[in-house]
Structure formats: structure tokens, C-alpha cells
Amino acid sequence: MHPASPPPDRSGLDALLRNRPFLALWTGQLLAQVADKIFYVLLIILLKTGGYTPGQNTEHSMLSAVMIAYTLPAIVFGSAAGIVVDRFSKKQMLIACNVIRALLIVALPFLPKAFVVLLTMTFLVSTVTQFFAPAEAAAIPLAVGREGLMSANALFASSTMGGIIVGMTIGEPLFSWVKHSFGPASQEFLLGGLYLISAGLIYAMRIKESHPGSSGKNVHPWQDLKEGLRYLKHNHLVSNAMVQLTILYSVFAALQVLAIALSGKIGLKETQFGFLLAAAGVGMVFGAAFLGHWGASFHQKPLPLIGFLMMGFVLAMFAFVRQLWVGFGLSAVFGFGASLINGPMQALIQEKTPESMRGKVFGLENNAINIALSLPLALTGPLTDAVSKAVGSDDLGLRIVLLSLGFLVSVMGMAAWRHTRKVLQDVV
């Protein structure tokens, strides 16, 4: 396999931005990320104004049910999706996921206004999304050369956060404008159109893939899942890198919850917490540029350890920050530290995993990350409330949680590196 890539004398972001297959994949997934978050906003709008909620007293219960339908497939089907991805063309899988999601969403206005219909469609769209993630990760090595993996993954991570922020920010105003201008059904058609445009961009991606031997025949999902787990068990390089990524995303999940209260302490409205997360995205972009241009010079440096220590330091400093510009600066440093973990570890997994195993491995990784995300999202808010109540002050409670989390992240980072350094230090 010879992936299309820039000339070998070019490296870093400059090479990636001249790589047409990579640009097609990157812009396509970025648009799909924005569409995913806009879909989340659409669900809230439909519950409140679309006539799907049976009564006023059940609105919160219905919202919880939809959120469960939205998140459950990530846990249930994450690993199974990776198995399927290995048996088909990654490009075709990405296109099919976008087209199916578009058709499901566009069909909503023509279906009965029953809550069970909305719940079912939410579950189906989210299930299809689980196949998109491992196919996307497995396609990156096909679009860039080995030397571009680290900066490519750092750029993907930063643009993913950017997509989340943009989607959450523009979703409600965009739907309000479209609904006012073109009528209620235009919301679903707009969202479906975004997925179709994403499919068109990915269709323009020219890559060479080895043809899966089975192409869907003689499928043995349980055997394939055991094969993936067995591969991770014996390949400590890949499994230990996955541990680092799982810890990273758990920390990010905690920050998403704490950013709401923290934004109110540094001069923003609590509803503007997205700006604080956006600053972390900017830091990840700079991290991508750093890894792309100077990553080779730090070949044997413990980049993940440095990243965890930076993130722990920033979380602890957040406890004392009350100036807006300092908060933005620290958030950018947090994102930069995250890129030192995500870029090298994701590139390492892609480089060391055979093409025939990438779907299984990235499916298992996606599953592990989604499970890890759920715990901080569920516990961080109630924990902060409990500590604040115990000490009798919301401000002091937030400070205690931030200091504790900063210390915990640093300790976890050092422990993870100590456990994995013998495997990872020679390749990162």
C-alpha cells in the first residue's frame, strides 16, 4: 500500500495542507463533527417545540431518555463497529455513514410526531455514527505518510474540539433562521445537507486501500472481537498508548463540566463556557504545529508525561485565576499539553497496527474512551456540589475540586508513564 502523501522533503502542517487526500478527509470529518453537534441541538429543539413531548410534566424525563438513546450506542456498538470497518473500504464506510445519517434525519418530518419515533431515530443516527469514528481513524494512515501521522492526529484532535464548539454555538441561531425563512421541515433538510456535503468531500479523497479478504462474508463477530482483544493483550505498545488516550479524554470530560462554573469566575457568563474550551482548541492547534515541525527533535522525550504535567498544572492554577486573559492563556496551555499526549499516542497506534486490524483496534479504543468519558461527566458536577456544600462556599468548593483534580491528573500521568515508559520511550 502506498498512501498518497506530499513530497518526502516536506513535513509538518505545511505538508498536510498540501496533501489533497488528507484535506478531503479532514474537511469532510470536520463538517461531520459540526453536523453531529448540530443534531444534538436539533434534538433539544424538537423536544421543546416539535410536538414530540407528551406533556409538561414529562419533559425532563423525555430529555433524559433521548440523551440515553444518543449515548448508549457508543458503549454498546463501539467494538462491533470496528469489526465491520475492517471488512470494508474505509472510504466507502465513511461515505455510507454520512448518507445514511442524512436520509434518517431528512425522513423525520414525514414520520408521525410520536416520541418513540424520535427516540428510535436518535438511536439509529447515533449507532451509524459509531461506524464513522473507527473508519475515520483507520483512514488517516492511508491519506498521509508515516512522517505525517503525529501532526495529522494532533490537527484532527484540535479540529474535533473546534467542531464541537462551532456546532454547539451556531446550532440554535442557525435553526431559528432557517425555520423562520423556509419553514419547520427546513431544519432537518439543512442538517441532512451537511452530512451529504461531508460525504461529497470524502468521495473526493483518493487513497489506495488493500481489499478486505472477506468483504463481509464468513463474518464471525465474536471471533473478531476476541482477535482484537488478543492483539491488544500481546501488543503492549498499542495497549499502553490506548491507556494514555483513555486518561486524556477522561480529563477533558471533567474540564467540560468544570468549565461552566469556571467561566463565571473569570468574567464570562456561564453560558459562554464554550469560549474557554475554544481556547483549549487553539492550544491544540499550536500543539499540532509544534509536533509537525519539531516533533522529530523530541523523539525520545517523554511527551505524554510532559503533557499530563502541563494539564495538571493548569487545572491547579485555574483554582486561583480570576482574570479573563489569564484563563484563556491557561486553557490554551491545557490544550497544548493535551496535544503532546494525543498526537504521539494516536500516531503510534496507527503506525504499529496492521491495516487489517485497525478497525478492530480503533473500535475498541472508541469504546474504551466513551466508557471513560461517562464517569467524569456523571461524577464531576455532583462532586463539586457536594464539596461546595460541605465547605459552605461555591467558590472554595470549586477551588478544592480543581486543585485535587490537578494533583490527581499529575499523579495519574506519572503513574501511567512509569508503567508504560519501557514500552513507549523508544518510539515517542
Q: What is the DSSP string of 174-236?
A: HHHHHHHHH-TTHHHHHHHHHHHHHHHHHHT-----PPPSSTTSS--HHHHHHHHHHHHHH-H
Cell numbers representing residue 327 in the block = 484563563
Contact (CB, 8 A) for 283 and 334: yes
Mean pLDDT of all residues belonging to the chain: 79
CA 283 – CA 298 distance, rounded (Å)? 19
Q: What is the mean pLDDT of residues 141-149?
A: 79
Considering only residues 53 and 33, tell me which one the structure prediction assigns the higher pLDDT.
33
Provide the pLDDT for residue 201.
94
- Which residue shows C-alpha cell 499523579? 411
What's the grid cell of residue 91?
472510504
pLDDT band at 4 (very low <50, low <70, confident <90, very high): very low
d(CA 10, CA 355): 25
225 has pLDDT over 50:
yes
| Higher per-residue pLDDT: 387 or 80 | 387
- Answer yes or no: are the C-beta atoms of 424 and 348 closer than 8 Å: yes
Query: What pLDDT does residue 192 have?
Result: 93
| Helical spans, DSSP H, in 77-89 | 78-85
Q: How confident is the model over 108-115, as a mean pLDDT?
A: 87
Which residues touch 51 (CB under 8 Å, ≥6 apart)? Answer: 113
Q: Which of 133, 135, 122, 132 is nearest to 71 (CA)?
A: 122
The model's pLDDT over 41-98, given as tens digits with 9 standing for 90+, comes to 888 778 777 666 555 545 556 766 777 788 788 777 777 777 777 778 889 999 999 9
pLDDT at 233: 77
**Residue 9: pLDDT band with limits 50, 70, 90:** very low
- Structure confidence at residue 7 (pLDDT): 42
What burial letters (b/e) apply to 218-240, b meaning 16+ CB within 10 Å?
A: eeeeeebbebbeebbeebebbbb
**Rounded mean pLDDT, 105-114:** 90
The pLDDT confidence band at residue 213, using thresholds 50, 70 and 90, is very low
What's the mean pLDDT in 196-212? 84
Residue 36: Cβ-neighbour burial (10 angstroms; 0-12, 13-18, 19+): buried
**pLDDT computed for residue 203 by the predictor:** 93
Among 7-11, 199-203, 295-299, 413-417, name the most confident range.
199-203
What is the C-alpha to C-alpha distance for residues 38 and 398, in angstroms, rounded to an integer? Answer: 30
- CA 328 distance to own-chain centroid: 21
Q: How many CB atoms lie within 10 A of CB 54?
A: 12
Range in 69-73, 164-168, 173-177, 236-240 with the lowest mean pLDDT: 164-168
Residue 59 confidence (pLDDT):
58
